[in-house]
């Protein structure tokens, strides 16, 4: 029955996670960019029997709105036990290479907005000495590759940030979970050619909830990505730099 | 929003064609841009067997991502949801609150959009009619960019054309349906063994009044005095509440079985054992709705049991005749052919009309048969069966079809030209080009 805040609540992965959480009685506060999508997600969860404490549509790249947003969520939920940060964009790597304005936007969405939000959230939870912070990062943050290093570096920075935050929060009993999905069949990857490595968002949702319940620090979803990334990380840079990845 | 899924298939897997797949995740504001020669077709869960859910050389709009509930009035049982929601998802939400889907096909893994586009029927056709009768309203997006709200009162022509409209009249975005009151997930079922098709008709007549659901499995290899022997299953929603059990375990067929797996010998053995599994001629029990309605759903991707060659379904309806000669002749032909049909289902349709212009069910008796794809041998049998269906003023079901002739389709569905006026100019399917535009035969 946790009081749960979901940021980026219209993400396919977030929706599937929200279904499970609301099914078991969590009260949800949903934040997402598009008011129409947000409304349709709210209706869906409510028809399924979920309890929605409130919704707010907001572009999370506008950091100045974050304090107000947090205030509204805390009021509606009357407390905060769990936060899931799910928003993100998989920008066009080639375009980002040519135009820093685009690259900067990717870094803002995938890294800086999370830092801004987590500053508010972590201070609140540290004060309360309880809570769980779950953030969707990506396997792409484990090693820089030419095909998506703008996105990858934002997620990589996010990983380090979460690692430090976990370390800081440990003494306050606040859990910090870094979620690293591999390929997931969602709108984000609609343009990619699908293969057997692609997981369905409901499978990732189940994995996220399980990892939260088991108080994990870092989770690869599905778990075989741990093995794949272990190999990718182990390749010496001398060789790695020659690969077309 | 472009995707190149390796291939998207229909359930029978006899028709493999190249097509561009575009997944939808939200109700679109407008339909996607097409290349000049391309056409569009919505695609739900691909539980249609032949080519009616395929569009060779064109675009398939995958609707499964549009799977959100919109509204549920628990006191009246009125449910509105997006067209990509599947029936199993609906049941999971509504049964604990005392509502069941008004019409259930033999699998719960079909989408709402697919249920409407084929105007599906279930074991309760004799008392409830088709799925389309329970659609209160829906919204259809057409290539002119307009969203059409239709119901029996509003835009009723597009409503009538879209129910059973084979996905050709536009993309159904959402629909509102009237659910049916039940006490819980249980069914009081009774199975009666019968040793000849004549007995089927007797039991059927006796059951119609007192049983909401009825269907029969038959042994198509039996001949002579055992012609059309089988099991008659009938049931009603049980007033018992009992415990609401959780999800059952599922088995998945991971890859193609060898082509020989389902051959005459194995099917004959199965049929023999299945027919005799119940020693008493009559058996009663209370079962969960899943094994009652969806026995095959316990094995996911069971269609792969037929191997790489795939399989055909052949579903016909013929009007009642006093001597029931057409259906007997069909059973005799099938038995004589020695071609084994693993799943053979016999049921009577009632006379309740559907709002859909192109709806398949009509008063009479319907028989659905599964045949492994044995190429020309199977097609030859179909030609003979077609002849009987044709001369007895019957019809074939497009959802199951891969071989129907254009001239037959046009006779079976006399309103097809009126319907054609509502076919969206940007929509088409492999099936439609085959039966209405005379462009070759598939498979
Ligand atoms: C085991 C099994 C048992 C079955 N039993 C029965 C039965 O008892 N009775 C019966 O009637 N049928 C039965 N069927 C057939 C099945 O119910 C139909 O083929 C159904 O239409 C499949 O739905 P789908 O979501 O898979 O749609 P698909 O097969 O993907 O598509 C079917 C049609 O719906 C159209 N469509 C899908 N979504 C939309 C949309 N949003 N807007 C407009 N058009 C759309 C498609 O263009 C296509 O023409 C059975 C099938 C199987 C595999
Ligand atoms: N799909 C994968 O293969 C994959 C793999 C690894 C990690 N991930 C991560 O998983 C998370 C969820 O993604 P998904 O796969 O579920 O894709 P998705 O459905 O496309 O979700 C992305 C969500 O982020 C939202 N968003 C983007 N920018 C935003 C902003 N400035 N303000 C508010 N919301 C914003 C989007 O909102 P709009 O709908 O309004 O655009 C959308 O709801 C992301 O962090 C992603 O990086 C995904």
CATH number of the domain encompassing residue A172: 3.40.50.720
| Nearest atom, ligand 1, residue B48 CA | 19
Place of tokens 């259906």: B327
At residue B365, the pLDDT reads 95
Q: What value does the mean pLDDT of chain A take?
A: 97
Q: What's the pLDDT tens digit per position in B34-75?
A: 998 899 999 999 999 999 999 999 999 999 999 999 999 999
Q: Do A43 and B4 touch (CB under 8 A)?
A: no
pLDDT band at B443, cuts 50/70/90? very low
**Which of chain B's residues have a Cβ under 8 Å away from the Cβ of A205?**
none
Tokens of B102: 């008004």
Q: Judge whether residue B33 has pLDDT over 70.
A: yes
CA distance B84 to A10: 17
Closest C-alpha among B127, B295, B290, B101 to residue B204 = B127
Whether the CB of B106 sits within 6 Å of ligand 1: yes
Whether the CB of A183 sits within 6 Å of ligand 2: yes
Contact A138, A189 (CB under 8 A): no
Q: What's the pLDDT tens digit per position in B261-319?
A: 777 777 777 777 777 777 678 888 999 999 999 988 888 888 888 888 898 999 999 99
Place of tokens 């059309």: B228
Ligand with minimal distance to A181 CA: 2
Q: What's the pLDDT tens digit per position in B393-415?
A: 999 999 999 999 999 999 999 99
CATH classification (class only), B186-404: alpha beta
Q: What sections of A48-112 are H helices per DSSP?
A: 66-77, 93-98, 100-107
Closest C-alpha among B360, B442, B361, B345 to residue B402 = B442
DSSP A106-170: HHIIIIIHHHHHHHHHHHHHHHHT--EEEEE--GGGSS--TTTHHHHHHHHHHHHHHHHHHHHHG
At residue B299, the pLDDT reads 81
Lowest mean pLDDT among A58-72, B87-101, B237-251: B237-251
Partner-chain residue, chosen from B4, B27, B72, that has the shortest CB–CB distance to A47: B72
**Which of chain A's residues have a Cβ under 8 Å away from the Cβ of B69?**
43-44, 47-48
Count: domains in chain A? 1
Report how far Cα A102 is from the mean position of its chain's Cα atoms: 21
CB pairs below 8 Å between A and B: how many? 43
Whether the CB of A151 sits within 6 Å of ligand 2: no
At residue B242, the pLDDT reads 65
Contact B49, B78 (CB under 8 A): no
Partner-chain residue, chosen from B6, B26, B70, that has the shortest CB–CB distance to A37: B26
Q: Do A191 and B71 touch (CB under 8 A)?
A: no
Q: What's the pLDDT tens digit per position in B109-129?
A: 999 999 999 999 999 999 999
Q: Judge whether residue B432 has pLDDT over 80.
A: yes
% of chain B exceeding 90 in pLDDT = 75
Lowest mean pLDDT among A214-228, B196-210, B412-426: B196-210
Backbone angles phi, psi at B266, to 5 degrees: -65, -40
The answer to whether residue A100 is domain-embedded is yes
At residue B297, the pLDDT reads 85
Closest C-alpha among B63, B60, B62 to residue B85 = B63
At residue B283, the pLDDT reads 86
Contact A9, A38 (CB under 8 A): yes
Q: Judge whether residue A221 has pLDDT over 50.
A: yes
Lowest mean pLDDT among A137-151, B185-199, B207-221, B312-326: B312-326
Cα of A134 to nearest chain B Cα, Å:
24
Contact B24, B62 (CB under 8 A): yes
Backbone angles phi, psi at A70, to 5 degrees: -65, -40
- Whether B4 has its CB under 8 Å from any CB of chain A: the answer is yes
Q: Judge whether residue B26 has pLDDT over 90.
A: yes
Whether the CB of B53 sits within 6 Å of ligand 1: yes
Task: Give B412 Cα–ligand 1 centroid separation in angstroms.
Answer: 19
Ligand with minimal distance to A40 CA: 2
Cα of B41 to nearest chain A Cα, Å:
18
Q: Whose CA is nearest to atom 1 of ligand 2?
A: A184
| Nearest atom, ligand 1, residue B345 CA | 8
Cα of B74 to nearest chain A Cα, Å:
10
The pLDDT of A66-85, averaged and rounded, is: 98
> B125 to each of A118, B201, B337, how far by Cα in Å?
57, 16, 30
At residue B249, the pLDDT reads 57
The pLDDT of B237-260, averaged and rounded, is: 69
Q: What is the pTM of this model?
A: 0.94
Q: Judge whether residue B250 has pLDDT over 70.
A: no
Whether the CB of A57 sits within 6 Å of ligand 2: no
Q: Judge whether residue A240 has pLDDT over 50.
A: yes
More confident residue, A197 or B255: A197
CA distance B300 to B170: 30
% of chain A exceeding 90 in pLDDT = 96
Task: Give B256 Cα–ligand 1 centroid separation in angstroms.
Answer: 23
Closest residue in B to A198 (Cα–Cα)? B5
pLDDT band at B4, cuts 50/70/90? very low
At residue B440, the pLDDT reads 59
Query: Which pairing describes strands A218-221 and A175-181: parallel, antiparallel, or unpaired?
Result: parallel
pLDDT band at A123, cuts 50/70/90? very high
Q: What's the pLDDT tens digit per position in B303-355?
A: 888 888 898 999 999 998 767 899 999 999 999 898 878 779 999 999 999 99
Q: Judge whether residue B136 has pLDDT over 90.
A: yes
Whether the CB of A148 sits within 6 Å of ligand 2: no
Q: Judge whether residue B442 has pLDDT over 90.
A: no
Closest C-alpha among B88, B74, B84, B105 to residue B179 = B74
Q: Do A43 and B25 touch (CB under 8 A)?
A: no
Cα of A195 to nearest chain B Cα, Å:
8
Contact B328, B31 (CB under 8 A): no
Cα of A21 to nearest chain B Cα, Å:
15
Q: What's the pLDDT tens digit per position in B348-374?
A: 999 999 999 999 999 999 999 999 999
Contact A206, A179 (CB under 8 A): no
| Nearest atom, ligand 1, residue B302 CA | 1
Ligand with minimal distance to A112 CA: 2
**Residue range of the domain that includes A80:** 3-240
Task: Give B115 Cα–ligand 1 centroid separation in angstroms.
Answer: 5
At residue B243, the pLDDT reads 60
At residue B245, the pLDDT reads 54
**Ligand 1 binding pocket mutation candidate from B31, B120, B125, B298 (most atoms within 8 A of CB):** B120
- Whether B70 has its CB under 8 Å from any CB of chain A: the answer is yes
Q: Judge whether residue B13 has pLDDT over 90.
A: no
């Amino acid at each position: 029955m946790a009081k749960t805040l979901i940021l980026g609540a219209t993400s396919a992965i977030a929706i599937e996670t929200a279904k499970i959480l609301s099914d078991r009685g969590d009260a949800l506060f949903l934040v997402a960019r598009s008011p129409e999508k947000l409304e349709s997600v709210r209706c869906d969860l409510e028809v399924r029997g979920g309890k929605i404490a409130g919704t707010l549509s907001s572009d999370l790249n506008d950091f100045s709105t974050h304090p107000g947003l947090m205030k509204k969520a805390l009021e509606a939920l009357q407390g905060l036990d769990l936060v899931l940060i799910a928003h993100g964009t998989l920008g066009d790597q080639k375009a980002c290479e040519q135009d820093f304005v685009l690259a900067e936007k990717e870094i803002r969405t995938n890294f800086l907005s999370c830092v801004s939000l987590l500053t508010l959230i972590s201070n609140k939870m540290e004060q309360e000495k309880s809570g769980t912070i779950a953030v969707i990062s990506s396997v792409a943050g484990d090693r820089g590759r030419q095909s998506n290093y703008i996105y990858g570096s934002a997620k990589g920075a996010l990983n380090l940030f979460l690692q430090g935050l976990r370390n800081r929060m440990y003494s306050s009993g606040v859990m910090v979970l870094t979620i690293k999905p591999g390929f997931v069949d969602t709108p984000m990857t609609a343009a990619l050619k699908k293969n057997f490595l692609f997981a369905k968002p409901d499978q990732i949702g189940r994995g996220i909830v399980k990892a939260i319940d088991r108080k994990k620090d870092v989770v690869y979803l599905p778990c075989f990505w741990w093995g794949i990334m272990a190999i990718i990380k182990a390749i010496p840079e001398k060789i790695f730099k020659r690969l077309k990845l | 929003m472009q995707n190149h899924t390796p291939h998207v298939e229909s359930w029978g897997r006899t028709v493999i064609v190249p097509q561009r797949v575009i997944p939808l995740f939200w109700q679109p504001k407008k339909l996607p841009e097409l290349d000049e020669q391309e056409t569009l077709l919505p695609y739900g869960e691909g539980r249609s067997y032949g080519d009616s859910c395929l569009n060779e050389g064109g675009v398939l709009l995958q609707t499964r991502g549009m799977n959100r509930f919109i509204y549920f009035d628990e006191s009246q049982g009125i449910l509105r949801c997006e067209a990509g929601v599947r029936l199993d998802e609906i049941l999971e939400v509504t049964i604990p609150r005392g509502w069941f889907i008004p019409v259930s096909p033999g699998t719960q893994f079909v989408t709402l959009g697919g249920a409407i586009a084929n105007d599906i029927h279930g074991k309760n056709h004799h008392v409830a009619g088709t799925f389309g009768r329970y659609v209160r309203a829906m919204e259809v997006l057409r290539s002119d960019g307009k969203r059409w709200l239709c119901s029996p009162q509003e835009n009723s022509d597009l409503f009538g054309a879209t129910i059973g409209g084979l996905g050709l009249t536009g993309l159904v975005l959402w629909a509102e349906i009237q659910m049916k009151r039940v006490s819980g997930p249980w069914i009081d079922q009774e199975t009666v063994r019968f040793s000849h098709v004549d007995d089927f008709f007797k039991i059927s007549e006796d059951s119609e009044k007192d049983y909401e659901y009825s269907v029969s499995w038959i042994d198509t290899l039996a001949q002579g005095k055992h012609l059309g022997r089988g099991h008659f299953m009938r049931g009603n929603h049980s007033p018992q509440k009992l415990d609401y059990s959780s999800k059952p375990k599922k088995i998945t067929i991971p890859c193609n079985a060898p082509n020989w797996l389902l051959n005459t010998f194995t099917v004959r053995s199965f049929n023999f054992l299945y027919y005799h599994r119940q020693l008493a001629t009559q058996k009663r029990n209370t079962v969960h709705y899943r094994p009652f309605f969806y026995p095959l759903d316990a094995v996911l991707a069971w269609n792969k049991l037929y191997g790489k060659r795939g399989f055909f379904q052949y579903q016909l309806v013929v009007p009642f005749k006093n001597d029931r000669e057409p259906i007997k002749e069909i059973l005799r032909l099938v038995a004589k052919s020695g071609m084994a049909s693993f799943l053979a289902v016999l049921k009577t349709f009632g006379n309740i009309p559907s709002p859909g212009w192109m709806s398949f069910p009509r008063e009479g008796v319907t028989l659905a048969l599964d045949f492994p794809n044995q190429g020309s041998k199977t097609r030859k049998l179909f030609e003979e069966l077609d002849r009987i269906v044709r001369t007895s003023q019957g019809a074939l079901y497009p959802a199951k079809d891969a071989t129907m002739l254009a001239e037959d389709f046009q006779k079976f569905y006399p309103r097809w030209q009126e319907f054609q006026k509502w076919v969206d100019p940007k929509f088409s399917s492999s099936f439609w080009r085959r039966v209405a535009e005379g462009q070759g035969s598939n498979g």
